[in-house]
Amino acid sequence: MDSRDYCLQRDADLVVINSREEQLCCHDNKYYYYLKQELDSVLGDTYWIGLSKRDPEGTWKWVDGTSMTSSSWGPGYPDDKYGAEDCGAVSMDNWYDEQCDSRHFWICEKVVVLDHLEAELNKEVMREGGAPVFMRSPSSKMVSVGKTAHFSCRARGNPKPTIEWLHNDRPLKRDRTDDQSEPAVWMDGGGDLVVRGVRSGVETVRCVANNRAGTARSDPAELIVYGKIWTWSDRRPDGWMYFNHRLYFISTTKRNWTASRDDCLQRDADLVVINSREEQELVKELGGIYWIGLSKRDTKGTWKWVDGTKISKTSSFWGEGQPDDYGGPEDCVAAWVDSWNDKRCNRLNSWICEKVVVL
C-alpha cells in the first residue's frame, strides 16, 4: 500500500502489465518511474506491480479494476507459500505472489501524450533535483569471440547530462580501432557503446552521467566473451561437446541423481562442477533442468561438489529463496535456466557429465 500511495501522489498507479513487450521493458507512450535508478543493473531485485487479490472474491485483479487476462507467473506460482500472499511482484521475467507487508521496490506507470513526455520527465527531475538520474543502465551481455555487444545508457537531469563510458574502468578512447588483437570499442551514432569480443574472458563497462548539478556512475556491467558457444549441433559423434579444455555430455534421458552420477563415472567423467559464470551460462544455453555435481548427502549438511570442493562465493547461482528444502530434505541440486534449485535426490532429471581433456 505504501508503494501504491507513492504512485498515486504522482498522478500514477502501480504498473499494469498487459503485454509481453511491457513485461520485458517500457514501450510506446507510457512513462515509468523507477524508484531504483539503475533497474537494468540490478536484475534479480523484486518490484511491486499493480496486481493483487485483496478483494473479498480473492480474484487476481489489476489496480485499474481489470481482470488478469494473461500472466507471466514463475514456475509453481502463485502458491501462498508462507500463508496469504495476496500481492503481485515481478523479478527478472517472472511474477510472484508475495505477502503484502513485504518490502520491495516498485514501478509506477501513467499514460501521457507524447507531446508532453518531456514535460513529464522535467517534472520528475525538478521533484528530485537536477543531478543526473539513470533511466537505463548497461546490462551484462554474452558474445562469442569476434562478435560485438551493444550497451545502452540513458540519464536525465537539469541540465541534460552528458554520457561518458569506462571500459575495464579506464576512460574510453573515442576512435574506432581496426587492430584485431585488441577489443574494438567505439560509440555508435546514438552515443551508446559497442564492444567487440576479442578473447575469452570477462570485461566490464559502465557509464558516467555528468552535469553541473552532479555526477552519477552506473553499476558495472559484464561482457562475457566465449571462445565458442555450444549448441546441440555442436555434439561430436560420441555425444560429447567441447568447451575450454573440457568435454561435456548432456543426457537425453532422465534418472535420479545417483544413477546420473553413475552414468558419468562409467564415462570416465563426473557430474558437472560449475565454478565460473561462463560455465553457468553455457548450461543455460541448453535449456531444461539438469542434475549437476552439487549435493549435501554425505557431507554433514554442507554443500559440496563431487570433487570435494565447497561452493565459491563468486560462482554461486542459487535461485531466489534457494536452497529451501521445500517439502522435505532436498540434498541434491539441479540447474534450471540460469539458476540452481535444491531437489530431492530421487527425482528424475536429465544430467550433465564433465571431464577435463588434454589437447
Question: Mean pLDDT across the chain, nearest whole number?
Answer: 78
Identity of the residue numbered 171? P
Residue 197 is predicted with a pLDDT of 77
**What residues does 304 pair with on adjacent strands?**
295, 310
CB atoms within 10 A of CB 32: 16
Cell of residue 292, nine digits: 549437476
Average pLDDT over residues 272-291: 81
- Kindly indicate the confidence band of residue 331, based on its pLDDT and cuts at 50, 70 and 90: very high
Element of type H or E holding 20: helix 20-24
How much is the pLDDT for 333? 95
Residue 117 has pLDDT above 50, yes or no: yes
* Region 300-321 average pLDDT: 83
Average pLDDT over residues 326-343: 88
Residue 282 CB: number of other CB atoms within 10 A? 23
Mean pLDDT value of segment 296-306: 84
pLDDT at 38: 36
Pairing of strands 141-144, 170-171: unpaired
2-111 fold: Mannose-Binding Protein A; Chain A (3.10.100)
The larger pLDDT score, comparing residue 286 to residue 17, is at: 17
User: What was the pLDDT predicted at 127?
Assistant: 52
Q: What is the mean pLDDT of residues 46-67?
A: 85
Mean pLDDT in residue range 35-63: 68
**Beta carbons of 209 and 134 less than 8 angstroms apart:** yes
User: Which architecture, in CATH terms, is 133-226?
Assistant: Sandwich (2.60)
- Predicted TM-score (pTM) of the model is 0.41
Lowest pLDDT segment from 150-159, 169-178, 242-251:
169-178
Say which residue, 14 or 227, is predicted with more confidence.
14
Does the pLDDT value for residue 284 go beyond 50? yes
Contacts of 146 (CB under 8 A, 6+ apart): 196, 197, 198
Confirm if 279 and 292 have CB atoms less than 8 A apart: no
Q: Do domains 2-111 and 133-226 have the same CATH topology?
A: no
Class of residue 30 by CB neighbours under 10 A (exposed 0-12, middle 13-18, buried 19+) = middle
How many other C-beta atoms lie within 10 A of the C-beta of residue 279?
19
d(CA 209, CA 291): 44
Alpha-carbon gap, residue 141 to 202, rounded angstroms: 10
CATH number of 232-356: 3.10.100.10
List the chain domain ranges.
2-111, 133-226, 232-356
Q: Taking residues 168-173, report their average pLDDT.
A: 78
